[in-house]
Structure 1
Amino acid sequence: MKLKAAQLSNHLKRQGLSPIYLLTGDEPLQMMECADILRSFARQQGFNERVVLSVESKYDWENLEEQADSFSLFANKRLLEIRLGAHSPGTDGTKALIAYSDKPPPDAILLITTDKLDTKKQKTKWFKILSERSVLIQIWPLNVSELPGWITQRMRQSGLQASPEAINIIAERAEGHLLACTQEIEKLHLLYGKGQIDTAQVLDAVVDSARFDVFNWVDTVLTGDVPRFVRQLQGLQAEGVEVIVVAWALNKEIRNLCYMTYTLQSGQSIAQILKTYRIWARRQNAISRAIKRYSKPQRWRQFLRDTVQIDRMIKGLESGNPWDELQQLSLQIAGVKLFS
């Protein structure tokens, strides 16, 4: 069974506990809070003992078998947690997890937490079987459009209200970092107590703690949101992200758009191209807008040549500031006309 993180509380109240839960994602706050909801509900149901198994390299999976075999009629109810993190179970782990799921102990709940699993990892034997035999909760980062609503709800829980402008400031300054966003809301509550928070108070109290993802920046460039992607690029530079990584991500997307626009000239529609190139739903708007802005492959080939020049700057083969050149190139991709 698949659930969204927001559905877990109501699901537990209606359906009770299931033997196995698989929690995966790369957004720390939602992962932490989702696991806390499950732990709290399990304690209420008498699962007072908690055993944590942290998987490292060369992990001995017999530990799971020993924990499963240790249950008896007189044992305490236990919550077993297997923390995979970025590790794969491997052959031994796959056998152990499948064996456990074949016959889960009656007085145990198993919670498996793992980092975000890409498409390749979701095709592995252990994931396929466990996802069918467990409650699967996949955590996704919030979209920019979802963040103001999330902040409004979070503030309401703390007894705070704020204008849309104040909420947008919080969203902008804590974008991509929900834990920092939560901390800023708690800070506002401590400083001003319950009630209405105005823009001046937010500007005075909330620090700029945004965390940006390189690929999210690329999508913002393709969408054409100039103020946001300029700020994202500055954030990446300030955080010490290697410029070669940023340039590589943009080069990769431009190269893909060269292929897509060639396909467009062959008569396929944008919708067909998105399907052919397996563009997932959350990126389709950004890709579509980029193709509509520049529908001819010649333009994307020129952008590709620009990335080659930036690469030469990064390697010291040509003079210039690659960060400045990346900003100028991204402005052009977004449709901004620059002076010569």
Structure 2
Amino acid sequence: MIIRIFANQLVHTLQQQTYPAYLLVGQDPLLIEESKYQLFQFGKQQGATQKQEIVIDSNTDWATLFTDLQTFGLFSQQQIFLFTLPDNINAQLQQQLQQLVSLLHSDIIAIFQIAKLTTTIEKQAWFKTLEQIKTLQINCQTPTLEQLPQWIQQRAKMMELSIDNEAIELLAYNYENNLAALKQTLQLMQLLYPQQKITLINAGQCIEQSSVFTPFQWIDAILQGKKYRCIRILEQLQNEGDVQPVVLLRILQKELLLLLRLGSDDKIKIENTQQMLNSQLLRQKFDQYKIWKNRRPLYSAAIQRLNYHRLYDAIQHLAAIEKAIKQQGDENSWQALQQLTVKLAA
């Protein structure tokens, strides 16, 4: 059978029981690296003296691998094998994996890593064998935005940090899909606020002091109308090269459409696009769209500053930038994004 746990349960689980094989499923960089480190440390505690990391593909030297697996069985010390599996496991690889799994024994700590498990893979013979030998499956998928506050609470508890709910919401918003940067900020909190309740203000200060800007800080600056800060963040995002312009386009488009929904009264027809957005029903709209409390002042400020024409114009501008990227590449997209940012934040 397959025993399924989340990555943050791995240390506790290893303290309770050992397993013939371990399966890391997901592709979150932080969760994958932390889980591998924890399994490697566990292996050392069990007496493992050697470690092999093997990528399974069409170039794998199966004869040598099978020999290694059988040879290590002659020694008393345990050995660690990490097998990185491809997304597509063809018939030939399935046969080889079936033989590999059949050669596992108590002197081997076998770790399998795969980005995604599909129904097709779960029906394959080698995977069925993993089920039979009782494998521990570790979920290393990035938490969703809804799951992230709980993940932060658990990580904070592990780090002996006390963080209030509004601060947790702010962290979740700023570090969605970026657990590595979130971890760095939590470590900064450990240094700045030991044995102290961390408030929304404290969290904001830590985010500002972190060395890496996020796309969501760029969005916040737009909502607040801070055009110089917008430009600074955008320039750093461009220099770092971790975020593509098309990703920023999608994030901004989502926020602009949300502003339209928040600032519109479904019962009133818009006759003049120059009129300001409607702020009369904001409390009701915030509840309807489940907007976190610490973000409501940002949306309120933007709605009181923008009119329908500017939003419609910005959405059309976004579409034009995306079309240009598809036709000409990213060459001028950062400059176009900067121009749009200034227009929205002015």
State if a TM-score over 0.5 links the two structures.
yes
- Matched residue type, 2:146: S
Per-residue deviation, 1:33: 2.3
110 and 75 in structure 1: CA distance in 2 versus 1, 3 angstrom threshold: same
Task: Give 2:246's aligned residue.
Answer: 242
Contact 2:156/2:162 (<8 A) preserved: yes
Per-residue deviation, 1:246: 5.7
Task: Give 2:191's aligned residue.
Answer: 190
Task: Give 1:329's aligned residue.
Answer: none
Q: Distance in 2 between matches of 1:7 and 1:158?
A: 15
Matched, 1:314 2:323: yes
Contact 1:81/1:111 (<8 A) preserved: yes
- Matched residue type, 1:240: Q
Per-residue deviation, 1:122: 4.2
Q: Distance in 1 between matches of 2:325 and 2:49?
A: 60
Task: Give 1:272's aligned residue.
Answer: none
Per-residue deviation, 1:128: 4.3
Per-residue deviation, 1:52: 1.7
- 1:4 is paired with a residue whose SS is strand
Task: Give 1:107's aligned residue.
Answer: 107
Which structure: larger Rg? 2
Identity %: 24
Contact 2:25/2:141 (<8 A) preserved: no
Q: What do residues 100-158 of structure 1 show as CA deviations (whole Å, max 9, x unaligned)?
A: 32242331111111212344544545444434443333333223232222212322333
Q: How many residues align?
A: 243
129 and 138 in structure 1: CA distance in 2 versus 1, 3 angstrom threshold: farther
Q: Distance in 1 between matches of 2:119 and 2:102?
A: 25
- 2:106 is paired with a residue whose SS is coil
Q: TM-score, normalised by structure 1?
A: 0.58
Q: Distance in 2 between matches of 1:38 and 1:102?
A: 21
Contact 1:18/1:135 (<8 A) preserved: yes
Task: Give 1:13's aligned residue.
Answer: 15
Task: Give 1:96's aligned residue.
Answer: 96
- 1:149 is paired with a residue whose SS is helix
Per-residue deviation, 1:20: 1.6
Matched, 1:30 2:39: no
Task: Give 1:157's aligned residue.
Answer: 158
**Structure 2 segments unaligned to the other structure (5+ residues):** 217-222, 224-232, 255-288, 290-314, 327-332, 338-346
Task: Give 2:307's aligned residue.
Answer: none
Per-residue deviation, 1:211: 7.2
Q: What do residues 165-194 of structure 1 show as CA deviations (whole Å, max 9, x unaligned)?
A: 222111111111111111110122223434
Matched, 1:40 2:41: yes
- Matched residue type, 1:23: L
Q: Distance in 1 between matches of 2:136 and 2:159?
A: 30
| Cα RMSD for the two superposed structures | 4.1
Contact 1:62/1:96 (<8 A) preserved: no
Contact 2:5/2:136 (<8 A) preserved: no
